[in-house]
Amino acid sequence: MQQRPGDVMTMLEGILLTIVTAATPLLFAAIGELVAERSGVLNLGVEGMMAVGAVCGFAAASTTGQPILGVLAAIIAGMLAASLFGIVALFFVANQNATGVALTLFGLGLSGLIGDSFVGTPGIPIPKVNIPVLSDLPVVGRLIFGEDPFVYLAVALALATWWFLFKTRGGLIIRAVGDNAHSAHALGFSVLKTRFLAVLFGGACAGLGGAYLSLVYTPQWTQAMTAGRGWIALALVVFASWLPGRLVVGAVLFGAVSILQLHAQAIGIGIPSQFLSMLPYIVTVVALVVISRNRALLSVNTPACLGRPFVADS
Amino acid sequence: MEPKIAGRRTRPESGALIQAIGITKLFGSFKANDSVDLTIRPGEIHALLGENGAGKSTLVKILYGSLQPSEGEIRWKGQPVRIASPSAARKLGIGMVFQHFSLFDALTVTENIALALSDRSNRTALAKEIEKVSLEYGLPLNPASRIVDLSVGERQRVEIVRCLLQNPELLIMDEPTSVLTPQEADDLFQTLDRLTARGCAVLYISHRLEEVKQICHHATILRLGKVVAECDPQQETASQLASLMVGADVHVLSSDTPPPTSAKTRLSVRNLSLPEPHPFAVALHDISLDLKAGEIVGIAGIAGNGQGEFFDALSGERTTDRPDTVTIDGKAAGKLGVTARRRLGAAFVPEERIGHGAVPRLRLSDNVLLTRHATGDQLLRVGVIDFGGMKTLADRIGRSFDVRKSAVDPEAGSLSGGNLQKFIVGREIDRQPSVLVVSQPTWGVDAGAAAVIRQVLIDLARSGSAVLIISQDLDEIFEIADRVAVISRGHLSEPVPARSLTREQIGLMMAGLGEGKPVAKKETAHAHRA
């Protein structure tokens, strides 16, 4: 079969576009978790918060017919789930790991319950950005100027998070609380309030990531549609060594692996499809091992109080 | 160290900057402060002296606003004030440098300081300001360094600069030199002089009496929550100051029995060389030393010249390839680990009390087991712990060494530094070891406890053991050691009788210039890293 150059270009463009859409929900969830972890809280409930966000977003959008209401509902749902975690793990000082895992299980179960009646309901399409001329450029046109609005939002959010964490007083306080909660308390900052707000932000971002899955990526609701993306987002934060800029690179990398393995399956490479499906998770493990070898970088950026509960003394 | 700043210091003749009048602080029925009066004048360095538990910290916390007095009044420049919080204190012009720093390791110097100063929003401008102030006061600092990369002395500079940027009129310093090398301490004293020259007052808390005599204009002495004396520390001798603090005359150490001249060798080190274990450490070069039964040998030296590495090699935390490098009571121990060396009759007291000498979250009785499990006390029977035996031992140590504790068997971390040190030294001496190696026996310990510890070390030696003391406190070494050797860049000098030495000679040896010792690498000693 003969392929014209135009077909190759179209295929390449298609692959790149799907990589971007696969990376976006990871980026959303990871940004939120990065901020929470910078404040010293390890919230393993990302997967659960994404699932709740996905189902609430889809339910609100398909009931009202307004995608924007769906997005808002997802954000609020993510924050509600996060506040549950925050209250239990911060104010009642429960073990953060156990609470986070419980939140994931709870979120997956609850989303199944809420979403039961929406299974099979068609989604509402969200228009992509279309800038005349620019969007029609070959290859890069649609890639850079013709994505859905969420893609731009995710990148802007990563940039804004970097700016906030490293250039503003609020970000400095978050990093201080994550580095040495007791010193921060002694200086008069409210450790628990700072951490709670960071966890809420994490919930909002995870909810947004979930909404992206059910409103744009699929777009429909199916049980457990988050498919482990919350866990990959958690790994992504470590991979990025808690730096927002690296998070964008990492999200694209993981997006690429998960898309390319689909294409590899479609082409019919002689590797069992199950192995290819494992690829994103294998890459996660390998990436974590590689990144952990760079002790110097990690020691500077790893929040020293990560996962440690804070109780004010005296 | 010899005073660098010579000449008499006279207390400035000015009105009071801050006055505490009749301050009483009750914790339950316990009076931590009992109608304390304190007057600090602008431009003076005012020493606050007292043993651990005398009420110094309580008084300071009241002045800095983190505690409220039960009774009494504070006047700032003559006006009665209520200092409701540390931030209120800072607004008045009171700054404080804590003994344990409240810094953020992962953040830069500028970021650390920005956190404390809410009115500086521009960090580039703040960095410039930090550079300017740090130069002005002789506190060199790079604003872009991360705290984790700084030495303890540099970290203290960050705290001081943080205070100075708020233009304090009173700077409170809690045991500032307890973490510094002698050189760093001298630098600090010069900084304090510059501060006082500009009219800033310093409240200086310390129990290093020599240092108080050297730099302070005036001293207030607390005992059991009460002011027992006010004096000019330069007019008093260190032992007069010490007896004011402790109440009775400080026990004069007795070592009447001269050390035996021809006793058997208890500990022998032969040509011990070890490479540095990590980049910030010091390599040991060809160290030889003999300790006889009945004597105390002191190892002097500036921090970070191989003391820790030498201790580890003696205790067996690091072993050597050859068995004959370390011989304990005639048995080659160079390749043996800590427990095996203890079984030969040796005992070790490391420098860091918490984490190395004791586990803070374990009870005292559990801590006893950690060094005594294999030394013939029968605390373990077929691997089963004899809890009763452990408690009996812990009690005995507590009684014999006057360890003051809040409960029958408290967690080690709840004891004050001096009491924990008495316990850790006592735990080893209680065994009657034939060889005792002890590092910084009285580091951060008040005068009363230090005297107790030094006396038991002398008594142990005179009863026939060999005692090796590694200390940065020259006064301590002169007080109790029979022979002195100096460690410098991993080389150990020949030990000489303590009575034949002057402080100047030792000082030269510490700098690595005397005795024709090989001068290795750079002139400066490696800074002590935390």
Q: Does the beta-carbon distance from B148 to A186 stay under 8 Å?
A: no
**Chain B neighbours among A 246-285 (CB < 8 Å)?**
none
Whether B88 has its CB under 8 Å from any CB of chain A: the answer is: no
Q: DSSP letter string over chain A?
A: ----HHHHHHHHHHHHHHHHHHHHHHHHHHHHHHHHHHTT---TTHHHHHHHHHHHHHHHHHHHS-HHHHHHHHHHHHHHHHHHHHIIIIIS---HHHHHHHHHHHHHHHHHHHHGGGTTPPPPP-PPP--TTGGGSTTHHHHHHSS-HHHHHHHHHHHHHHHHHHHSHHHHHHHHHHH-HHHHHHTT--HHHHHHHHHHHHHHHHHHHHHHIIIIIS-S--TTTTTTHHHHHHHHHHHTTT-HHHHHHHHHHHHHHHHHHHHHHHHT-SS-HHHHHHHHHHHHHHHHHHHHT-HHHHHHHS-TTTT-------
B329 min Cα distance to partner chain A (Å) = 44
Of B86, B107, B118, the CB nearest to A176: B107
A contact test, residue of B104, B126, B149, B159 with most A CBs within 10 A: B104
Q: Does the beta-carbon distance from A184 to B104 stay under 8 Å?
A: yes
| CB < 8 Å to A300, chain B | 106, 146, 148
A contact test, residue of B27, B64, B102 with most A CBs within 10 A: B102
Q: Could you report the per-residue pLDDT of B82-120, keeping only the tens digit for each? A: 999 888 898 899 999 876 667 898 899 999 999 988 777
Band (pLDDT 50/70/90 cuts) for residue B516 is very low
Q: Does the beta-carbon distance from A304 to B105 stay under 8 Å?
A: yes
Q: Could you report the per-residue pLDDT of B376-391, keeping only the tens digit for each? A: 778 888 888 888 889 9
- Which domains does chain B possess? 18-93+168-246 (3.40.50.300), 268-510 (3.40.50.300)
Alpha carbons B92 and B305: distance in angstroms, whole number: 43
| CB < 8 Å to A182, chain B | 102
* Closest-CA residue of chain A to B121: A169
Q: What is the end-to-end Cα distance of chain B in Å, rounded?
A: 22
How many other CB atoms are found less than 10 A from the CB of residue A292? 12
Alpha carbons B426 and B396: distance in angstroms, whole number: 9
Whether B119 has its CB under 8 Å from any CB of chain A: the answer is: no
A contact test, residue of B67, B99, B115, B162 with most A CBs within 10 A: B115
Q: How many CA atoms lie within 13 A of B89 on its CB side?
A: 23
CA distances from A22 to A107, A154, A226, B408 (A): 22, 12, 12, 63
B78 min Cα distance to partner chain A (Å) = 28
Tokens of A142: 């649609």
Taking only the tens of pLDDT, chain A with its 314 residues reads: 455 666 777 788 888 889 999 999 999 999 999 999 999 999 999 999 999 999 999 999 999 989 999 999 999 999 999 999 999 999 999 999 999 999 999 999 999 999 999 988 888 878 777 777 777 777 677 777 778 889 999 999 999 999 999 999 999 999 999 999 988 988 888 999 999 999 999 999 999 999 999 999 988 899 889 989 999 999 999 989 999 999 999 999 989 988 888 888 888 777 888 888 888 888 888 888 888 787 777 777 889 899 999 987 64
Across residues B367-381, what is the average pLDDT? 85
| CB < 8 Å to B106, chain A | 175, 179, 300-304
**ipTM confidence score:** 0.84
A184 min Cα distance to partner chain B (Å) = 8
Whether B124 has its CB under 8 Å from any CB of chain A: the answer is: no
Whether A186 has its CB under 8 Å from any CB of chain B: the answer is: yes
- Which domains does chain A possess? 8-301 (1.10.3470)
Whether B120 has its CB under 8 Å from any CB of chain A: the answer is: no
Q: Does the beta-carbon distance from A183 to B121 stay under 8 Å?
A: no
Res. B122: pLDDT tops 90 = no
Alpha carbons B156 and B188: distance in angstroms, whole number: 9
Single pTM value for the model: 0.72
Whether B104 has its CB under 8 Å from any CB of chain A: the answer is: yes
| CB < 8 Å to B148, chain A | 299-300
Helix (H) or strand (E) holding B347: strand B346-349
| CB < 8 Å to B111, chain A | 172, 175-176
Helix (H) or strand (E) holding B240: helix B238-246
**Looking at this protein, which amino acid is placed at residue A38?**
R
